[in-house]
Amino acid sequence: MRNSLAVCYGTRPQIIKASVLLQALGERWEVLAVDTGQHYDYELNALQYKQLGVRSPDVYLEVGSGAHAVQTGMILTRAADVFTSRRPWAVVVIGDTNSTLGCGLAAAQLRIPVIHVEAGMRAADALMAEEINRRVVDAFSSVLCAPSAAAERHLKLEHVSGTVVQTGDVARDVLVRNLDRLPLAADTAGWPLKPDAPFVFATLHRAELTDDARRLGNVMSGLGEVSLPVILAAHPRTKTALERHGLFHRLPPTVHLLPPLGYLQSLGCVRDARAVVTDSGGVQREAYWLGTPCVTVRQETEWEETVELAANVLVPPGQARERLPGVIEHHVRGPGGRGGWSRDAYGSGDAAARIRDAVEGCGARSA
């Protein structure tokens, strides 16, 4: 395959977003699909391919897990080899993971134009891995696809050198397409509750939370105090951290652990839950779109519109033990009611087509 447009991804949410990007971009150009292999467990990788009908990647970099430097270094060198031999005319990267940085940097160093999907997200913690990744990639990208007006504003304020286009969020495209395929939460394998029992759905995976025994213990205690049972779909890192910190066998009896869920089951749980507790950016938006009140256990969120619209409430992990139950209770009964907020802060589900138009319009092909 020569002269193609490369689309790079490697983690669970990136495979989900790639499902629509590969299709939209593939309608116009030959696409080289590159999976870095950052996520490799069946539940995080192959299950998403299967559920969303994503074609097999053309190249699999097989990098696996490792310290940031090791993982990013492996992605950088392996992606550079691929780009050197295949010479894509542009490289699309998504989000803020080590796969985004490694593949983007490999392309930029070869003077291949980089298209950054989900550009312009910003957090105050400048040393968080994701913040480093997204700022660096935004600095050298030729086309910056901002999912929201705020993201576009951040990029303009920073005077980035590439072309900034507000495209909306491809995660909404995927959700819109799959809305009528969502199973009932209670049909999830291993569901521990009666079919109609109300529940809170939780996902936690960020290193800032899981690496800190006190913070993680605090959040687990807070979840245990919630008046409803909690279904926690645990990322592999979270399960390992619970074991490492001696929390696994001391989980509150109302907190039920499930393995990581496929995209469709996870969305079914978000839709059917009374409330969602998460530290994932993806789940915050999914709850916002599906009308489920969300509590984010972080100091801040890049998806600031969800908080402004009262769909999402922040609770710092250190305060989770005391505040989580009350905040959930109040939020569920809150003034916005269930889903009484505007849902269009991140576009209307046509982001992939807008990104395709932005790529075409930027003239990257002749660069």
Strand residues in the chain grouped as ranges (E): 5-9, 31-35, 59-60, 90-94, 114-117, 143-146, 163-166, 200-203, 230-233, 255-258, 275-278, 294-296, 312-314
String marking each residue 213-232 x if it binds ligand UD1 according to CB under 6 A = --------------------
Question: Most distant CA pair in the chain: distance in Å?
Answer: 61
**Shortest separation between residue 15's beta carbon and ligand UD1, angstroms:** 10
> Using CB under 6 A, which of 65, 84, 109, 161 touches ligand UD1?
65
Site membership for ligand UD1, residue 98 (CB under 6 A): yes
**Shortest separation between residue 263's beta carbon and ligand UD1, angstroms:** 12
> Using CB under 6 A, which of 8, 9, 12, 286 touches ligand UD1?
12
d(CA 201, CA 139): 37
Checking phi first, is residue 275 left (phi over 0); if not, alpha (psi -120 to 50) or beta? Answer: beta
Instruction: Please tell me the count of residues contacting ligand UD1 according to CB under 6 A.
Output: 19
Angle, helix 213-225 to helix 320-332, in steps of 10 degrees:
40
Closest CA to 19 of 251, 246, 178: 178
Q: Which residues contact 39 (CB under 8 A, 6 or more apart)?
A: 10, 11, 12, 15, 45
Site membership for ligand UD1, residue 39 (CB under 6 A): yes
Site membership for ligand UD1, residue 118 (CB under 6 A): no
**Shortest separation between residue 221's beta carbon and ligand UD1, angstroms:** 23
Give whichever of 11 and 141 is closer to ligand UD1, judged by the CB atom: 11
Q: Which residues contact 351 (CB under 8 A, 6 or more apart)?
A: 20, 145, 147, 167, 168, 169, 170, 172, 173
> Using CB under 6 A, which of 116, 122, 205, 356 touches ligand UD1?
205
DSSP symbols for 120-132:
T---S-TTSHHHH
Structure token digits, residue 307: 């908080």
- Which part of the chain contacts ligand UD1 (CB under 6 A), choosing from 1-9, 37-45, 223-231, 261-269? 37-45
What are the residue numbers of the active site? 205
Give whichever of 259 and 339 is closer to ligand UD1, judged by the CB atom: 259
Q: Which residues contact 67 (CB under 8 A, 6 or more apart)?
A: none
**If DSSP codes are grouped into helix, strand and coil, which group holds residue 115?**
strand
d(CA 153, CA 159): 10
> Using CB under 6 A, which of 4, 9, 13, 245 touches ligand UD1?
13
- Which part of the chain contacts ligand UD1 (CB under 6 A), choosing from 35-43, 141-149, 177-185, 223-231? 35-43
d(CA 140, CA 188): 43
- Which part of the chain contacts ligand UD1 (CB under 6 A), choosing from 6-14, 222-230, 323-331, 353-361? 6-14
Give whichever of 4 and 266 is closer to ligand UD1, judged by the CB atom: 266
Give whichever of 26 and 236 is closer to ligand UD1, judged by the CB atom: 236
**Shortest separation between residue 130's beta carbon and ligand UD1, angstroms:** 5
**If DSSP codes are grouped into helix, strand and coil, which group holds residue 143?**
strand
- Which part of the chain contacts ligand UD1 (CB under 6 A), choosing from 8-16, 21-29, 54-62, 173-181? 8-16
Interface with ligand UD1 in residues 236-255 (CB under 6 A): 236-237, 240
- Which part of the chain contacts ligand UD1 (CB under 6 A), choosing from 95-103, 326-334, 335-343, 345-353? 95-103
**Shortest separation between residue 135's beta carbon and ligand UD1, angstroms:** 13
Is 54 in contact with 48 (CB distance < 8 Å)?
Answer: yes
String marking each residue 120-139 x if it binds ligand UD1 according to CB under 6 A = ---------xx---------
Q: Which residues contact 335 (CB under 8 A, 6 or more apart)?
A: 310
Binding site for ligand UD1 (CB under 6 A): 11-13, 38-41, 44, 65, 96-98, 129-130, 205, 207, 236-237, 240
